[in-house]
Structure 1
Amino acid sequence: MHAYTVEPLYVKSGQEVIAADFYRPKSVQKPGVIIMAHGLACLRQFKLVQFAQRFAHAGHAVVLFDYRYWGGSTGRPRELVSLQAQLEDWRTMLMHVAQRKSIDSRKIVLWGISLSAGYVLDIASENKNIQAVIALNPFVDGAESAKQYPLPLLPKALKISSQDYMGAKVGMQPKSLPVVSEQELCFVPVAGAYEGYQSILHSDYYWSGEIPARVFFNLIRYRPMQNLRRIAVPVLYIASKQDSLIPLEISREAATNIAPYADYHEWEMRHFDIYHGKWFEKAVAVQLDFLNQHIGDG
């Protein structure tokens, strides 16, 4: 077990400033580094710290960041999810980390979960400067995930998304939708999603539970699946057999597209189980083995 420090990190991305935590093992001269960020509408403190701590204990540096518009990062409107901006934040953080003298820039790993796992696979398909990728329950095909959306609610969701998109063009206040809800129209109206989000929230950090509706269109159109064959680095891919957000068939197809670089696992769990209990412990053990294999043990 390595002792480590956690330092605040602020990185310019476009007109905004990205806030991050830099976990740095004290006894490792130039460690490999894992860059981490969250999925849809989440802060870095929502259960990602537990992963970062375990990686740092094992001797790996970690940079855990919030996207612009979220948490400690700047940008307005607050809690806007812009896929384009978030991908740009990933590229910015990757470039920043690669230039840091205190880490081994030949040992950079991208880590994502759900939507951010889609992002890191996308970045890996276009970038040769990373050593490996860890993707947990990746969102790889918005068109397929949209088929999980209850059909009677879809026209309403598309209408409010369109209104918010057009309103944003002329400077109107955002029209928002709940991320999850027990009764209302929301972004993720599938079994277990409301309880799943509740299980990862952190009461010390503000979260409205709503985001501007315009991203609904972009999520449906976001398909990292189309770029997976370009990936040429090792990918640890963990899928959930009982995932109500991401069809298992799509995860299997994605892993096939990444072959021979995919180290693919599918477990008898639901989408949010990987943050908790035995599934969290199992996931950490598998990830540490993968990291040891590809960037050493700190």
Structure 2
Amino acid sequence: MFTRTDLAFTSHGITCKGYLYRPAEAKGPVPCVIMGHGFAATRECGIAPFAEAFANAGYAAFVFDYRHFGASDGQPRQLLVPSREVQDWLCAIAFVRQLDGIRPDAIALWGTSFGGGLVTVAAALDGNVQAIIAQCPMMDGLASALEVIRYAGIAHVLKLSAHGAVDITRALLGMSPHYIASAGRPGEVAAMTAADCYDGYLALVPEGVPNTVAARVSSTLMTFRPVTQAHKVTCPALIQICEKDTVAPVAAAEKAAKKIKHAEVRRYDMGHFDIYQGANREKSVADQLAFLLKTFSR
């Protein structure tokens, strides 16, 4: 009931690649949901079912990889810089708006986990998207760092900072990055080490997608605070909160939702990674489709 095409656009001189899903029987231009994943993840990491659901419901969906990740270009690899990923979102929006068969006045942004914070900032900066969906969103890097201190201890955060310093030093010397794991077990050196992170994250990562990120990310995450930009989001927003979230603090998502004038909050009795699988995913998708139908019917 849909087609999928590889497309590419340029973000600040670097080629980013994405899949465009189109409903097979569209009789004219359709709304489009632009989709990006979370922390160090790619378009291959468990979000295809969401895109397929949108396409089967009559929407286009454009799922892209950020610079330095997945199918997109950019050296060094696995380099996560939040401000650059926001730029990638803005370039993806501009690209999709000019595609044939897409309604430029009916664009929704869909971000999950870290991507939920990214779409909040992108919507605030663009000012002309029609909707955002933020699934289990990371809305405050400072709050996330404090949560890591709570469950892993200050020594763990200091260790991550030390690895970050090594990576920054190597970059200044023109050397290859120093990497840490994106997700690890409790006690391991990794960006995410809560009890459910390793199994939950790896369940989304297919063979060939590295579970690594350049360690310098530890120096930028605390300053990435989408909650401070949330009041600038003027379009309808669906904020989906996992109440047992160990990665994206619930309080930060609630705070961001309160700042968005037209926010709709849905809550789920599950952990951060549960929402990508089985019946939990179906519930999330159903709420997303209901939100899109209501938004684009206005």
Shorter-chain TM-score category? Answer: over 0.9
CA distance in structure 2 between the aligned counterparts of 1:251 and 1:78, rounded to whole angstroms: 30
Segments of structure 1 that go 5 or more residues without pairing to the other structure are: none
What corresponds to 1:243 in structure 2?
Answer: 245
What corresponds to 2:121 in structure 1?
Answer: 122
Runs of 4+ in 1 over 6 A off after TM superposition: none
Structure 2 counterpart of 1:47, which letter? G
Deviation at 1:208, TM superposition (A): 2.4
1:159 to 133, 141, 162: 162
What corresponds to 1:67 in structure 2?
Answer: 66
CA contact (8 A) 2:138 2:249 kept: no
Post-superposition CA distance 1:219-242 (Å, at most 9, x none): 111101111111111000000110
Structure 2 counterpart of 1:167, which letter? R
What corresponds to 1:112 in structure 2?
Answer: 111
Higher percent of residues as strand: 2
What corresponds to 2:296 in structure 1?
Answer: 295
What corresponds to 1:230 in structure 2?
Answer: 232
CA distance in structure 2 between the aligned counterparts of 1:6 and 1:199, rounded to whole angstroms: 24
CA distance in structure 1 between the aligned counterparts of 2:184 and 2:90, rounded to whole angstroms: 32
CA distance in structure 2 between the aligned counterparts of 1:245 and 1:142, rounded to whole angstroms: 10
1:136-151 → structure 2 map (5 Å cutoff)? 136-149=135-148, 150=152, 151=154
Question: Aligned residues: percent identity?
Answer: 32
What corresponds to 1:175 in structure 2?
Answer: 178
Post-superposition CA distance 1:196-218 (Å, at most 9, x none): 11211123xx1221111001111
CA distance in structure 2 between the aligned counterparts of 1:208 and 1:47, rounded to whole angstroms: 14
Between 1:57-66 and 1:71-80, the stretch displaced more is: 71-80
* SS at 1:106 equivalent: strand
* SS at 2:17 equivalent: strand
* SS at 1:281 equivalent: helix
2:206 to 190, 194, 202: 202
Structure 1 counterpart of 2:58, which letter? G
Tell me the C-alpha RMSD between the 2 structures.
1.3
Deviation at 1:295, TM superposition (A): 1.7
* SS at 2:183 equivalent: coil
What corresponds to 1:13 in structure 2?
Answer: 11
What corresponds to 2:196 in structure 1?
Answer: 192
Deviation at 1:296, TM superposition (A): 4.1
Does 1:25 find its partner at 2:29?
Answer: no
CA distance in structure 1 between the aligned counterparts of 2:134 and 2:13, rounded to whole angstroms: 29
CA contact (8 A) 1:236 1:263 kept: yes
1:218 to 217, 220, 227: 220
Structure 2 counterpart of 1:226, which letter? T
CA distance in structure 1 between the aligned counterparts of 2:53 and 2:206, rounded to whole angstroms: 19
Segments of structure 2 that go 5 or more residues without pairing to the other structure are: none
Between 1:164-173 and 1:56-65, the stretch displaced more is: 164-173
CA contact (8 A) 1:4 1:25 kept: yes
Deviation at 1:84, TM superposition (A): 2.1
CA distance in structure 2 between the aligned counterparts of 1:38 and 1:17, rounded to whole angstroms: 17
CA distance in structure 1 between the aligned counterparts of 2:12 and 2:254, rounded to whole angstroms: 36
